[in-house]
Structure 1
Amino acid sequence: LTLEMVTDEERDYMYAEYAKDPRMKANIGIRRRLAPLLDNDRDQLELFTALLLSLPGSPVLYYGDEIGMGDNIWLGDRDAVRTPMQWTSDRNGGFSQCDPAQLYLPVIMDPIYGYQAVNVEAQADNPGSLLHWTRRMIEIRQRHPVFGVGSYVELSASNPSVLAFTREITEDESPWGGMDTILCVSNLSRFPQPVELDMRRFEGYSPVECMGGVQFPAIGELPYLLTLPGHGFYWFQLNPPENADAERAR
């Protein structure tokens, strides 16, 4: 995690919050994986991944973050986050059958992030795993190219703990010939938060939650009210009135 483009005050805050041990720092950055950076909190891991996949730019998932791999801050420089990929609970995490002493870097061995507990094989067999959840989020992103080419419009929210924005593309701008609007709402607080959003320009549209396909109440003239769990988020596809009528008729 590079901190080159933030202010000194912001960098000091990041160090105090996420790199309390000096070994966690590298130059002016933090040499930690996402899971240990967030204390292996599943809600935070999902929130940060959702932000990565929905904000403008090309998302990059570092190998192992899709299963919540850990790091080894006792290794030098960036090797802390370059340990072998943990494929299975077998020898060397399924990365190699060689003698462990011959590996360029050792596999993670601790009880929380070790390869016996955190590996692809175990999570592939568990529908509720972080791996399956991450695959599902990537599938949703691929189904909506607006995440890659659409505009970013931040919305006025009544609660400073909530980040709300839309990713939008018109029919004329669309390379595939169709309009699409996705509403992304994220609770950056660990506590449940209510929020009112100014959605007047989408009056009559119906939000459909992208993960489960649940249709929420149509948007009206008044501020749109949502309640989010701690570190929770929503992705909604905003369907125009004619599309919403077709959905209800099915």
Structure 2
Amino acid sequence: MVISNIKTGYTIQALKGTDNIFSDSAVIVPVYKADVWDFSEKNPNGIKVFSFNVTRDAWYTLGIKDGKHQLMNRAFIPRNWEQNLYGTMWIPDYPRFTGMGAFILTRFGKRKLPAQPLATRYNLDNSLINSPRKDAYTATDVMIHIGGTYEFKVGYDVLGGSFGCFAFIPQHDVYATPQLAEQASINDDYDDTPSNREWTIVTNKILNLAFPEKKQIKVLIEYTDPKETYVPQKILAE
């Protein structure tokens, strides 16, 4: 798989770090193209089989100052961009009890990846952020997992967020502009179809390409310029 730096649109992502009782906070983030390639002896250069959409950003609020959320992007960024190829482990039950799975990125078979440090380990009130890294330069359990609005249990939908993973977004949840994504949030019509079924189709395609011939599933992450990071302009209430 190649997680590219090509934007395919924008979507709505849960904002982590909030503790709202009556509604979830969310932000608008870019969506990127991920390509699935198949390599074999007959096709050593690979054949692109299909593509899907993922988010790369992982916005987290450190708290509110002067009436505004102070945001930090917890996106996984390789420590060295010349070492941006990873192995994977398939986890067949993630999130737990949903019947779906996820790919965990590995390096030399381990789930600890060299990473650029986050801006801080602390919230504005000096408490530790949720799920802090034990080592600032090491990210653990970086995954490609389901995103968008998905059914967590029967009749209970969840808007996916991220602590530094890549989240699958179905095409019907991708919008051409941030403004259209915001309007979908206002209309409350973006979450009518859970992403479970489409994510299962994607993962089954990948597993069927790899498992029968015992192929390795690898992930290449393309470079993105941090200066071009889209910073959410509004906090949405979902």
TM-score, scaled relative to structure 2 = 0.25
The answer to which structure, 1 or 2, has the higher relative contact order (CA under 8 A, 6+ apart) is 2
* Structure with more of its chain in strand, by fraction: 2
Larger radius of gyration: 1
TM-score, scaled relative to structure 1 = 0.24
